[in-house]
Structure 1
Amino acid sequence: MQDKPVTLAAVVGAHGVAGEVRLKLFGEGVDTLASIKSLNGGALTLKKLRSDNKGGAIARFDEVSDRTAAEKLRGTLIEAPRDALPGLAEGEFYFSDLLGLAVITDAGDPVGTVHAVENFGATDIVEIEKADGQKFMVPLTEQAVPSWDAERLVVNTDFVEND
Structure 2
Amino acid sequence: MNERLILMGVIGKPHGVRGLVRVNAYTADPDALAEYPLSDRSGRRFSLEWLHGNVAQLSEITARGNRAITDRSEVEKLTNTELFAPRAALPAPDEEEFYLADLIGLKARNEAGGEIGSITAVHDYGGGTSLEISPGGLLVPFTRAAVPVVDIAAGHVTVAPPVEVVVPS
Does the alignment reach a TM-score above 0.5? yes
Q: Partners of 1:6 and 1:109 in 2: how far apart?
A: 26
Deviation digits for residues 10-57 of structure 1 (CA, Å, limit 9, x no counterpart):
33x323243333333332121321333x32267102133544xxxxx3
Aligned to 2:150: 147
TM-aligned CA deviation for residue 129 of structure 1? 6.8
Deviation digits for residues 51-72 of structure 1 (CA, Å, limit 9, x no counterpart):
4xxxxx3332113333333333
Aligned to 1:15: 14
Q: RMSD in angstroms over aligned alpha carbons?
A: 3.7
TM-aligned CA deviation for residue 102 of structure 1? 5.6
TM-aligned CA deviation for residue 89 of structure 1? 1.5
Aligned to 1:109: 116
What 5-or-longer segments of structure 2 have no aligned partner? 61-68
What is the count of residue pairs matched by the alignment? 148
Aligned to 1:61: 58
Structure 1 pair 119–137 and aligned structure 2 pair: CA distance change class (3 A)? farther
Pairing partner for 1:46 from 31, 45, 48: 48
2:71 aligned partner, one-letter code:
D
Aligned to 2:129: 125
Q: Partners of 1:82 and 1:65 in 2: how far apart?
A: 29
Matched residue SS, 1:32 = helix
1:39 aligned partner, one-letter code:
L
Which of 1 and 2 has greater Rg?
A: 2
